[in-house]
Amino acid sequence: MKRVIPALSLVVSLCVSALVAQAPAENIDYAAIAQIRDEGLNRSQVMDHISWLSDVYGPRLTGGPGIMQASDWAIRKFNEWGLANAHRETWPFGKGWSLVRFGALMVEPQIQPLIGFPGSWTPGTKGTVTADVLSVQIDSEADFEKYRGKLAGKIVLTQPERPVPMLEGLIVHRMSEKDFEEAATTPIPQPRGGGRRGRAAADPPDDDPTAGGRGGRGGMLSLTAKIAQFYKAEGVVATFNRGSDNIMASIGSNLSAQQQHTDGGTIFPTGNGSRGADAGTGLPSVTLAVEHYNRMVRVLAKGIPVKVELNIDTKFYDEATPNGFNTIAEIPGTDPKLKDEVVMLGALTARGAIVGAEGIKGRTVKVHVKIDGGQIEDVLRLAIKGNTPVMTGQLRLHADLNLPAGPDDVMERLELGGEFDIGGARFTDASVQARLSDLSERARGLDPKESSRQVASNLRGQFRLARSVLSLHDATFGIPGATARVAGRYGLSNESLEFDGTVRMHATVSQAAGGGVKSVLLKVVDPLFRKDGAGAVLPIRIRGSRNEPKFGLDFRRALRRE
């Protein structure tokens, strides 16, 4: 019994220390902050950097020369800025592709340059070709016969005309709190048929309009493949499409909010070809501006021939070495003991605002922080100066931070609340970890001397920090054989502890004593602490300070049989 309560109390004290860890107070260098603001506001290079990437290197696809040139520029910049180890980390991608030359001109019934862009990984036309244009609508296999023997040497329009409405919908979207909340999530992608890498040229994406037909999902996938094979076998020169049927699209990043397509010559290219060994074996495809596409459909509907002059020149790049890469560099640390450490916070997102109030000095800071899949030791390294954090383990943290403006000390103004979950935790202090392992064995009625097992812990709960007081609500600490649930307060200013809770063990009190005379003597109290199917439920209380905690059983609660 003397071993069980102190061990759990020590663990609670260490966990509290980890949660409220903070770097020592330091003087704020307002001159340095002013200099940083001046650089950002008056000598910003952001627009010049964007110009280099967008204007000089332009649109670039993975595996092509454009993205490699942009990467070389970025590495040179990283080195100029003093970053360390600027390099590319590669990964397998498949064949690369680039557009060498493109031109499309309607030559009959009138001359009109066509606004368009070839689909990525599309093959070329092997020079300039002039061909009649034919509008094709295949909705079932029965429709093949209508076009058999009629498509050789033709350019095929694979879709019907699409209405082009006035710009009446949402054009510019200002993200709301709901949008930010959605953007902070990581949705699980829905599985789709096939995959782009190595897909046969006759098997375009499910939503690829280049294959013809209005379907293309689910059961229509086989028809889509057959249509592509049919065009190839019939000798079609190229296919034209005008993009999606939808006039609305996501505002970006697959968010649910929608905005209207601007059209007006804006192109939304579609139809990615294969990057595998069969790359370049399909038909050339081009996405046209919907207005130019619709004009040809309407002219053909009047029985007037349409002829187009087309030239597509593309290039494929074999994957002798991995074509995919990320360009990265490191900011070297200056701490003599931690400069070689790499800190990874996992999936961290933070969003909020900094606002001022009339008549109050300073700014109010409000931030919502989410860490999913992070490591508690990395967070502690950022918060505490020292060699080794008190614990390691996986961290999930969702918290809201509010720092009102005002003259008071930061810790008096800081408000922080949320929930945390630390899984697979191990304490870096060998003596603490040993005592924890000892507790786990005793809580299961085993002899610690016969086991060298190092147990992992789990800690979760809700917390709130306000006016330098940390409150824990329904915090749970679990190890094999025992679970402690505590609630209470920790004062940051005086490091005072005031926690109450219960420890639930698989073993009885006498079994946890480890055998011998103690076990025999303690059998008499086993019924007092046996409860709800557990071997023992011990009411505990922790008082004192972080450095000198006072812990023990709460006999009054035990006698009340709570």
pLDDT value of residue 379: 74
Which two structure tokens, joined as six digits, stand for 410?
A: 């930061």
CA distance 108 to 130: 10
The proportion of the chain whose per-residue pLDDT surpasses 70, expressed as a percent, equals 74
Q: Angle at CA 294, nearest 5°, toward 167 and 269?
A: 75
Given a cut of 70, whether residue 262 has pLDDT beyond it is yes
pLDDT value of residue 138: 94
Query: Which of 307 and 220 is assigned the larger pLDDT?
Result: 307
Q: Is the dihedral of CA 130, 134, 138, 142 positive or negative?
A: negative
Structure confidence by residue, pLDDT tens digits, 84-137 = 999 999 989 999 999 999 999 999 999 999 999 999 999 999 999 999 999 999
Mean pLDDT value of segment 350-371: 70
pLDDT value of residue 207: 40
Query: Which of 359 and 70 is assigned the larger pLDDT?
Result: 70
CA distance 301 to 161: 10
Q: Is 471 helix (H, G, I), strand (E, B) or coil?
A: strand
pLDDT value of residue 369: 83
Given a cut of 50, whether residue 206 has pLDDT beyond it is no
Q: Which long-range contacts (CB under 8 A, 24 or more apart) does 337-345 make?
A: 337/387, 338/381, 341/381, 343/378, 343/381, 343/382, 344/374, 344/375, 344/378, 345/371, 345/374, 345/375, 345/378, 345/379
Structure confidence by residue, pLDDT tens digits, 81-97 = 999 999 999 989 999 99
Given a cut of 50, whether residue 344 has pLDDT beyond it is yes
Mean pLDDT value of segment 343-356: 61
Given a cut of 60, whether residue 225 has pLDDT beyond it is yes
Quickly name the fold that domain 96-185+195-317 has: Glucose Oxidase; domain 1 (3.50.30)
Least confident of 57-61, 205-209, 221-225: 205-209
Structure confidence by residue, pLDDT tens digits, 315-325 = 999 998 899 99
CA distance 543 to 509: 23
Query: Which of 348 and 293 is assigned the larger pLDDT?
Result: 293
Given a cut of 50, whether residue 177 has pLDDT beyond it is yes
Contacts of 68 (CB under 8 A, 6+ apart): none
How many angstroms from the chain centroid is the CA of residue 95? 27
265 close to 284: Cβ distance less than 8 angstroms: no
Nearest partner of 244 among 203, 294, 210, 201, judged by Cα: 210
The proportion of the chain whose per-residue pLDDT surpasses 90, expressed as a percent, equals 31
CA distance 366 to 349: 14
CA distance 9 to 499: 10
CA distance 542 to 13: 9
Query: Which of 361 and 176 is assigned the larger pLDDT?
Result: 176
CA distance 499 to 283: 72
Given a cut of 60, whether residue 466 has pLDDT beyond it is yes
Least confident of 60-74, 120-134, 468-482: 468-482
pLDDT value of residue 336: 64
pLDDT value of residue 500: 86
pLDDT value of residue 254: 79
Which two structure tokens, joined as six digits, stand for 181?
A: 């909340």
Per-residue pLDDT band at 491 (split at 50, 70, 90) = confident
Least confident of 249-253, 371-375, 398-402, 554-558: 554-558
Least confident of 92-96, 166-170, 351-355, 482-486: 351-355
Does the pTM surpass 0.85? The reply is: no
Which two structure tokens, joined as six digits, stand for 169?
A: 């919908």
Given a cut of 50, whether residue 63 has pLDDT beyond it is yes
93 close to 317: Cβ distance less than 8 angstroms: no
Which two structure tokens, joined as six digits, stand for 529?
A: 């602490």
Per-residue pLDDT band at 274 (split at 50, 70, 90) = confident
Contacts of 325 (CB under 8 A, 6+ apart): 71, 88, 89, 90, 91
How many angstroms from the chain centroid is the CA of residue 455? 31
419 close to 400: Cβ distance less than 8 angstroms: no
Given a cut of 50, whether residue 199 has pLDDT beyond it is no
Report the chain's mean pLDDT, rounded to a whole number: 79
Per-residue pLDDT band at 413 (split at 50, 70, 90) = confident
β partners of residue 101: 313
pLDDT value of residue 256: 87
Given a cut of 50, whether residue 448 has pLDDT beyond it is yes
Per-residue pLDDT band at 290 (split at 50, 70, 90) = very high
Structure confidence by residue, pLDDT tens digits, 7-31 = 545 555 555 555 444 444 456 778 8
Mean pLDDT value of segment 139-161: 95
User: Hey, what amino acid is at 325?
Assistant: F
436 close to 448: Cβ distance less than 8 angstroms: no
Between 430-443 and 4-19, two packed helices, what is the crossing angle to 10 degrees?
A: 130
CATH 3.50.30.30 domain position(s) in the chain: 96-185+195-317
